Structures are given as C-alpha cells and as structure tokens.
C-alpha cells in the first residue's frame, strides 16, 4: 500500500483525485505548450473535474489550474456556491486561487507541493502563507505535502 492509501485524512475519492491530478501534471509537463500544474474538484464520492493550467495555451494569467476547474464546475452546475466540495491541486494554490476558492464557498483544500519547497515565482506575495489566509477570514482546512515527492521536481526551480 502507498502512503496515499494509508492517509486517513483523505477520502477514497480525494485519494483518487490526487493521483489523477499528479498524473495530469506530470503528463502536461512533458509538452511545450502546457504547464505541469493540475487541479481537481471533488464532491462526496465524485470527482467533478480535473483540469490543468491553461495560462500559456490561452495567454491568460488567470487560467491557473484551480481557476479552470472552478469555472468548469460552477458553469456545469449553474451555481457559484461549491461549499460541499474539496479543491485539490498538484501545487499549493496561489493567493488568487485561494481567494477564488473561498468566494466559491470551498472550505477544504488538499495539495501536493508546498509553498516553502517551490520556487518563489509561484506566489505574488511570497511572505503571505496559507496559514495567513486561514486566519484572515472564514476558517478552512488545508492539507499540504500530500505525495509531494511525486511532483516537487516540477516546481523546484520555477521552470514549470
């Protein structure tokens, strides 16, 4: 059994989504026109969406993987509230993505690579930590470092 299968903090569906996000990020990192950052949204026992960063493909700095899946799910469900959902990402969500997550009512985020272990370029305000976000507004749960070793090489030097 892998460490992921033994992680009691996560549901079976969250574990499946994490593996899907890792696979998508690793696959995308091999293509010149894609970025190796992926995210998913889970609700109960369903993976609602897995997507990837589209910043380069669409020449749009707001098309982070988390923003892509948030938009896809809210549009498909025709509602902006996703309070029953969990956001999952291969990289700790940046300030913009954490804000969008909270605007959507999501109170649980799980991510692989942690801010302190990646290149500073992934965060506009590098001194602002996820714990600062958690204390600044309505509380939310954040679980970081899940399967970090599988993707950390993508973000260590900031080339992704």
In a domain, 160, yes or no: no
In a domain, 140, yes or no: yes
In a domain, 82, yes or no: yes
Taking CA atoms, 63 is separated from 10, 49, 72, 108, in Å, by 27, 15, 11, 21
Q: For the chain, how many structural domains are there in total?
A: 1
Dump pLDDT digits (tens) for 14-29: 999 999 999 999 999 9
Domain that holds residue 78: 3-154
Both structure tokens of 93: 């969500």
Report how far apart the first and last C-alpha atoms of the chain are (Å, whole number): 30
Which pLDDT score is estimated for 2? 54
Specify the DSSP class assigned to residue 106.
Answer: -
Q: Between 139 and 40, where is the model more confident?
A: 40
Q: CATH no. for residue 59?
A: 3.40.140.10
Dump pLDDT digits (tens) for 42-100: 999 999 999 999 999 999 999 999 999 999 999 999 999 999 999 999 999 999 999 99
Which pLDDT score is estimated for 1? 37
């Amino acid at each position: 059994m892998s460490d992921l299968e033994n992680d009691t903090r996560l549901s079976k569906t969250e574990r499946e989504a994490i593996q899907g996000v890792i696979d998508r990020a690793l696959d995308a990192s091999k293509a010149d026109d894609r970025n190796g950052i992926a995210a998913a949204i889970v609700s109960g026992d369903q993976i609602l969406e897995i997507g990837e960063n589209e910043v380069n493909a669409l020449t749009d700095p707001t098309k982070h993987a988390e923003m892509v899946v948030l938009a896809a799910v809210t549009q498909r469900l025709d509602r902006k509230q996703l309070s029953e959902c969990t956001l999952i990402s291969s990289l700790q969500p940046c300030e913009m993505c954490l804000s969008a997550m909270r605007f959507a009512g999501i109170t649980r985020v799980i991510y692989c690579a942690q801010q302190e272990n990646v290149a500073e370029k992934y965060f506009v305000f590098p001194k602002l930590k996820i714990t600062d976000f958690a204390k600044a507004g309505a509380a939310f749960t954040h679980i970081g470092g899940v399967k970090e070793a599988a993707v950390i090489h993508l973000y260590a030097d900031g080339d992704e």
